[in-house]
Amino acid sequence: MASSIQLPAALADSLAVPRPGLLKRERTRLQLVQAAIKVFSARGYAAATMQEIAAVAGMTTGTVYNHFKTKEEVAGAVALWLADTLCQRISDSQNGVAEGAQRMAIGIRRYIWLAQESPAWALLMLEISAAAPQLVLEIQHYALADLRLAIKQKSFRVPSEAAAMDVLSGSVSQAMRSVAMGGSPANHGRDVATCLLRAFGMEPAAAKEVAGRPLPPFPPLAGGPIEPARGRRKP
């Protein structure tokens, strides 16, 4: 990966927020994950070393190995934390959005937004998700709730939840990969969301209207900044 990998500010700020109530071992592990994010951002995943992660965390290399056997395990923890943070920030931005279909569209477009804003991080998440089922399950936990809400509201009609989740996961993953590799047109996130809403049973015009609504901004963190305008193409 290229060096100087940058996360969107709305996520980077969230990842830096302390999490209260953690036990000592959990705090140490979290500090190592935060250090890994800094190293991956500065050096890229391929060039990063366990020794650099230890140095940034202010710990010994042995301490790193007490928590993670390999750099791949560190990357998995980073990807899982990033996915959880993105899901939570998406959920925060959906406050007041009552339609399951719109909530689903927001989630779809935000993951593709991540690929636009930070292609290297998106590709790392995709790489890790292929070998770490828990990452996919973490993401699906949020999406499944929106799917069920849309079915309850009779916006979606699907043969099974499992089939719908597979279609969602595969489509969004491929869309992220296309965007991150620079091979997608403008408004790809909106168009992918439209296709998926139609696949889940919405009428074409309704799907296009819902998927095309403006994305709600990420709400400000407690004492932190809100998402800045980045000047990128629309997701």
Those residues of the chain that have pLDDT short of 50 are 1-3, 223-234
What's the rounded Cα separation, in Å, for the pair 87 and 107? Answer: 8
Query: Crossing angle for the helix pair 100-117 and 188-199, nearest 10 degrees?
Result: 150
How many other CB atoms sit within 10 Å of the CB of residue 160?
A: 8
Task: Scan for tokens 């889940």, then name that residue.
Answer: 200
CA atoms of 113 and 119, how far apart (whole Å): 9
Closest CA to 174 of 192, 186, 197, 161: 192
Exposed, middle or buried, 184 (CB in 10 Å: 0-12/13-18/19+)? buried
Q: What is the DSSP letter of 48?
A: -
Rg (CA), the chain: 18
Q: What are phi and psi of 59, to 5 degrees?
A: -130, 170
Comparing C-alpha atoms, which of 39, 38, 32, 37 is closest to residue 64? 32
pLDDT given at position 132: 65
What DSSP character marks residue 2?
Answer: -
Q: How many residues does the chain have?
A: 235
CA-CA-CA-CA torsion for 160, 166, 171, 174, nearest 10 degrees? -170
CATH homologous superfamily, domain 9-211:
Tetracycline Repressor, domain 2 (1.10.357.10)
Distance CA 163, CA 55 (A): 45
- pTM, two decimal places: 0.79
SS3 call for 203: coil
Distance CA(151)–CA(33), nearest Å, equals: 37
CA distance 116 to 223: 27
Q: Which residues are CB-neighbours of 138 under 8 A, at least 6 positions away?
A: 80, 83, 84, 87
Question: Per 3-state DSSP, what percentage of the chain is helix, strand, and coil (rounded to 5)?
Answer: 65, 0, 35
Task: Please list, in sequence order, all residues whose beta carbon lies within 8 angstroms of the beta carbon of residue 16, skipping any fewer than 6 positions away.
Answer: 34
Q: Please, what sign has the CA dihedral across residues 152, 157, 162, 164?
A: negative
